[in-house]
Amino acid sequence: AQRVTQPEKLLSVFKGAPVELKCNYSYSGSPELFWYVQYSRQRLQLLLRHISRESIKGFTADLNKGETSFHLKKPFAQEEDSAMYYCPPGGSGGSNYKLTFGKGTLLTVNP
């Protein structure tokens, strides 16, 4: 069964500081991992996917199979990065695929 842990419920940094949002997973099979972001009172939206290996809004996330982690990083946080971040693991495919979102991490970037 897929399980994800975001150990930090709240994370507060100052503008310009590096930020890392942690995501650890336990998974059977090949993981499909994502980061979704929810800005204040807005809809959830995809931030990035591990298979894309891209940088969005300065954020990157590398899948570390040894540590079973998919931490989200940004070298210099901006105030507009303040949001809820979720790291749901995907299922193993098939018609019963589902994303399990959980509690997320609330990031606050202070001026």
Partner 1 sequence: DTAVSQTPKYLVTQMGNDKSIKCEQNLGHDTMYWYKQDSKKFLKIMFSYNNKELIINETVPNRFSPKSPDKAHLNLHINSLELGDSAVYFCASSPGGGAGETQYFGPGTRLLVL
Contacts to partner 1 by CB under 8 A: 32, 34, 42-46, 49, 51, 84, 86, 90-104, 106
Q: What's the rounded Cα separation, in Å, for the pair 32 and 48?
A: 11
Nearer to partner 1, 17 or 51 (CB): 51
> For partner 1, which is the closer residue by CB, 53 or 103?
103
Output the CA torsion sign for 34, 6, 14, 60: negative
Q: How far is Cα 68 from Cα 106, in angstroms, rounded to an integer?
A: 22
| CB nearer partner 1, residue 11 or residue 101 | 101
**Smallest gap, in angstroms, from Cβ of residue 68 to partner 1?**
17
Instruction: Name the minimum Å distance from CB 89 to partner 1.
Output: 10
* C-alpha–C-alpha distance, residues 19 and 60, integer Å: 11
Amino acid at 27: Y
Q: What is the closest distance, in whole angstroms, from the C-beta atom of residue 75 to partner 1 in the complex?
A: 25
